[in-house]
Structure 1
Amino acid sequence: MILASSSKNILLYLITLIFFVTPSQSILSHTSLLEQICRQSPHYHLCAMTLRSSIHHRSKEDIAGFARLTLEIVNANATITLERIDKVYAQIEDPKLKKALKYCIGSYNMIVKSLLQEALNAMDKGDYKVVQQKAYVAILEAESCNNKFNNLVTSPLRDTNRYVQNLCAITMSIVNKLVQPHQRTSI
């Protein structure tokens, strides 16, 4: 009888460990992985702030999960930017500004409807090289959009373009961790 009671106590103790210790260890490893990823990214503070604020919506994250999350965030932001550009374009009368905005509509259409969608699909397939390529081209498109305002007094999209570029650079940095194990090193 004592043996059965002792077995129950051990079982209860193990169940307690599983439900109470594992989640706290998971959160700890979650946070340390996030820290490690962001410290090695080109924009530590943006990476940490963005991922920390969004991570609580997910139950499990790993390197691929963080890369996907970053892509989803930049996609959401670029989509909002495209909508904003469309509204501003419809209201602007200045021909130079209108021309620059029209170019940016094309750039952001490519970023949102093509590049980031293809990157997300490639992420699902584990094709990390394609993810890096699409993120890189998105950086170039946002930079190209911003350059259209060089001859104008102000760039209404400077901060947004920089945000898209920086998040794509963070994505590339994270995805690089997924690509590296699959690359052969030459001696």
Structure 2
Amino acid sequence: MQFPDSFGDLLSSPVFIISLVLVLVVVVLYFAKKKMVGPADRSPIQKVRHMHSAIKKGNQPDIPVTRSRQDIISELFESKMNKIGLEPASEAGFIPVSTGDFADYMIEHGVDPDTMRAILDDLPTLKREEMFDVVEAATEMRDVDFTNREVEEAKELALNEWKRQHRK
């Protein structure tokens, strides 16, 4: 192979022109592919970086839609039911979520299930003493019948549930 004597000869060389065109095509394709990646195609780290940069610029970040645990469990349950040929009744409502001994004990003694669900949702965020105060408040509600011994047992069950949730 013979090297060109001047820079002009190098630029007019067919090998150089083909190499330059190939490099430009690769660069253009790289940036075109990078631009084509939409928000759904981004990895979780890229999504967080995008939200962080939007916040740094003072813009409102694109907050992704999240589904509740209940929705995800219901969807999984329904898909498995459909795979085996069963169809859940449409008027059945939601699929019940299992509760622990604490919730069952409180509901048996007259605590409203919705109130109990709220207590269970807040339980991991409470401190130990706050948890005992919430249990006492629930046992003193109207239409609830607890003896002193049952209140202590409810506190013990609540403490076990609280410890279990803090181990996760």
Task: Assess same fold via TM > 0.5.
Answer: no
- Greater helix fraction, Structure 1 or Structure 2: 1
Q: TM-score, normalised by structure 1?
A: 0.29
TM-score normalised to structure 2 length: 0.32
Which one has more relative contact order, counting CA pairs under 8 Å at least 6 apart?
A: 1
Larger radius of gyration between Structure 1 and Structure 2: 2
